[in-house]
Amino acid sequence: MAEFLGIDVGSISTNLALINEKGEVLHQVYLRTEGQPIEAIKKGMAEMKQNISLDSIQVRGVGTTGSGRVLAGTVVGADVVKNEITSQAIATLHINPQVRTIFEIGGQDSKIIILQNGIVVDFGMNTICAAGTGSFLDQQAYRLRIPIEEFGNYALQSTNPVRIAGRCTVFAESDMIHKQQLGYEKKDIIAGLCEALVRNYLNNVAKGKKICPPIFFQGGVASNSGIRKSFEKELGVKVTVPEYHKVMGAIGAALLAKEEIENTGKETSFRGFELVDKEYRTQGFECDGCPNHCEVVEIFIEDELIARWGDRCGKWSLTYSQVG
Amino acid sequence: MGNLKIGIPQALLYYEYFPLWKNFLESLGAEVIISGPTTKEILDLGVKSAISEICFPVKVFYGHVMSLKDRVDYLFIPRMVCVEKGAYFCPKFLGLPDMVKSSLSSLPPLIEPTIDIRKSATSFKNSFLAVGKLISNNSKKIYQSFYEAQKSFHLYLQSKENELNPEIININQQYSTKLLQNNMKNPLNIALLGHSYLVYDAFINLNLISKLKKTKINVLTAEMVRKQDIERKLKRLHKPIFWTLSKKIVGSAFYFLEKRIDGIIHLTSFECGEDSMIGELIRQESLKYPTVAYTEFVFDEHTGEAGIDTRTEAFLDMIIRRKRYESNHT
């Protein structure tokens, strides 16, 4: 058998997906990055190792994606390192080639991808501000003492959402506190927050984009049924949350690895599941070669230097940070 | 009076007029000192010393002023108001010398000629002649230096066009001969449009030009489009644009859209009023050309390399995969 592994290292979560030659998902792992991407990757790999029988599996290719894709690619020995837009789109089209619009809301960024005839024709990402992404919802759930998993259900119970200013997370928070002080119910405030986030998304990330159904909603925040409902209410069309919405990036990376291996006939450079037992280490220094003072990072396996980057001029770089 | 050290910050209009300024000042015997390319240190200095409400490019300018001010006898900061009929510079350029003087202390004296052809057609020349008098007593030499600097500046502008125009001609040929069917082998043609102080400042735009060139992309810029082509394209607007620098950006965007190049990336500054207006104009026009991919990158002092890399990569993937699809289906 030939399997392909995809790893999506985001700011908040690290996801893994193992697919077979037909592109079916054999196993998925979703866990929190907690600011330690290498640890998260190792943990994810260990969990996957436990749940599959290694004897019947042969990983023929590995792809990485997400904001930590270059680091992840270096750590596991990836065959392809791809951006999140392409990975998400590839995974969605694999599941349903008819999809025209993807809403993807993750931990610290959100995107919209417009598809036509099975290819990406336009996309948008949030610009300077992370308003309305998963981290903010996490923070508010914590402040309201509600587990994030329950957030959506609270919103669904509301019949009278309160209007919350969603333009900026700082203002949204003060607005929510103000509404709490006035005595509004938790569920109405939470529902109001969901609506504010959707408004903000549609007015910023999706600004000027033509949104056509079918629409897929994916990323960690798609687990929040309150947000999905607000999207449907605002747009007046059905919004589908696919089964593997949390690991779509990882599935896309795996599919891209499959495409790469099949096109080139290369052997995979995957370091194998043994890497969970290896010691990884990073260290940094500030280069004083010029006034830019770049912060250079070095990655070691055991004591062997495997990569170095972070400099603008390239005099320290040991791996090519890929564009395209 | 020779050997006066005159400092020119390598920011803002440096990217438009530097050859003119340098030739003029040097031929009169002054020593021109530039602040050099933007660095992290310069950016930090700028963000720290400029007022917080001002736009990002002006903050960068402040950083360059700070890094120059103790090394020169004069700082050259012209007040550019108007150089053509019906169009002006952004109000921040109009007030640039005042802004710098009022918010920075211990500055060397400023050379701040006002260039405003609305007041008199000879304002451009006169302001240079007045500057010349600060450096030299020889009126004849000042005249001569001005005319020669102006002549070589026009040649410089033309050479930018001529040198680069063959690439544009090349695009037309590629399209007409259907070479694109084998597009994976051909370089992609992508235009980087925006204010020259964003497009050509590699520190601010995180090395975008060299990153694109590394992936064998043919990078096109507004400087490669002839002025008459820009003016012609702008005629289709209901209302003329009255910002000199934005005219160039919009006109060349329309030009490249009509040439149906592969993609346009519009580089903008977060707090820039002009950019927010013309960005929308270009975006709306781009909708009429569905085969030309269009995107906008926003820059400010917090812009990280990861975000720009992701957007660039996704943008290129989109174009490459679309072309692959098209060549498989025609």
Residues ≥6 apart with Cβ < 8 Å to B67: B35, B36, B41, B42, B45
Closest B-chain CA to A292: B40
Domains of chain A (ranges plus CATH)?
A: 3-90+248-277 (3.30.420.40), 98-241 (3.30.420.40), 279-324 (no CATH)
pLDDT of residue A289: 86
Put simply, whether A293 touches B (Cβ < 8 Å) is yes
The answer to whether residue A323 neighbours chain B at the CB level (below 8 Å) is yes
CB-based burial of residue A287 (10 Å sphere; 0-12 exposed, 13-18 middle, 19+ buried)? Answer: middle
Angstrom distance (rounded) from CA B34 to CA B9: 6
Minimum Cα–Cα distance from A324: chain B residue: B313
B306 → closest Cβ in A67, A208, A293: A67
pLDDT in tens, A115-130: 998 889 999 988 766 5
Contact between chains at A85 and B317 (C-beta distance less than 8 A): yes
Residue recorded with tokens 């043609």: B189
- Per DSSP, helices labelled H in A117-274 are 134-143, 151-157, 169-181, 186-203, 225-235, 248-264
User: Which amino acid is it at A283?
Assistant: Q
∠ at Cα B270 (B266, B274), nearest 5°?
65
Confidence (pLDDT) at B168: 42
What is the side-by-side strand order in the sheet with A3-9? A25-32, A13-19, A3-9, A59-65, A80-81
Residue A233 in tokens: 């209410």
Distances (CA, A) of B38 to A127, A128, A290, A311, A315: 23, 22, 12, 15, 19
Q: Contact A84/B314, CB-based, under 8 Å?
A: yes
Pairing state between β A101-105 and A215-218? parallel
- For chain B, list the domains and their CATH numbers: 5-137 (3.40.50.11890), 164-328 (3.40.50)
Please tell me which of the candidates B40, B270, B313 has its beta carbon nearest to residue A324: B313
Residue B164: the pLDDT is: 45
Taking CB atoms and an 8 Å limit, are B314 and A119 in contact across chains? no
pLDDT at B186: 59
Q: Which residues of A touch B315 (CB under 8 A)?
A: 123
**Most B-contacting residue of A8, A69, A83, A311 (CB-CB within 10 A), to test interface:** A83
The pair of three-digit structure tokens given for residue A266, joined into one six-digit string:
């290369």
CB contact under 8 A, B300 and A128: yes
Q: Is A129 on the interface with B (CB under 8 A)?
A: no
Find the residue in B nearest to A11 (Cα).
B306
CA dihedral (B190, B194, B196, B202) positive or negative = negative
- What's the gap in Å between the CA of A123 and the closest CA on chain B? 8
Do B290 and A322 make contact, defined as CB atoms within 8 angstroms? no
pLDDT of residue A319: 66
Which residues fall within 8 angstroms of residue B263, CB to CB, at 6 or more apart? B188, B189, B190, B191, B292, B293, B294, B295, B315, B319
> How many other CB atoms sit within 10 Å of the CB of residue B239?
5
Q: List chain B residues with CB under 8 Å of A85.
A: 310, 313-314, 317-318
Question: Could you tell me the CA-to-CA distances from B32 to B2, B29, B36, B196 in Å, in that order?
Answer: 12, 9, 12, 21
How high does pLDDT run on average in chain A? 89
A269, A81 contact by CB (below 8 A): no
Check if B271 contacts A (Cβ < 8 Å): no
Tens-digit pLDDT string for chain B (330 aa): 458 999 999 999 998 898 899 999 999 999 999 999 999 999 999 999 998 889 999 999 999 999 999 999 999 999 999 999 899 999 999 999 999 999 999 999 999 999 998 888 888 888 899 999 988 889 999 999 999 999 988 887 776 665 444 444 444 433 333 333 334 445 788 999 999 999 999 899 988 988 888 887 888 888 888 888 899 999 989 899 999 999 999 999 999 999 899 999 999 998 898 999 999 999 999 999 999 999 999 998 877 788 888 999 999 999 998 888 888 877
Q: State both tokens at B211.
A: 């990153």
Under an 8 A CB cutoff, do A128 and B293 touch? no
pLDDT in tens, A68-93: 999 999 999 999 999 999 999 999 99
Contact of B290 with chain A, judged by CB distance below 8 Å, is answered with yes
CB contact under 8 A, B317 and A83: yes
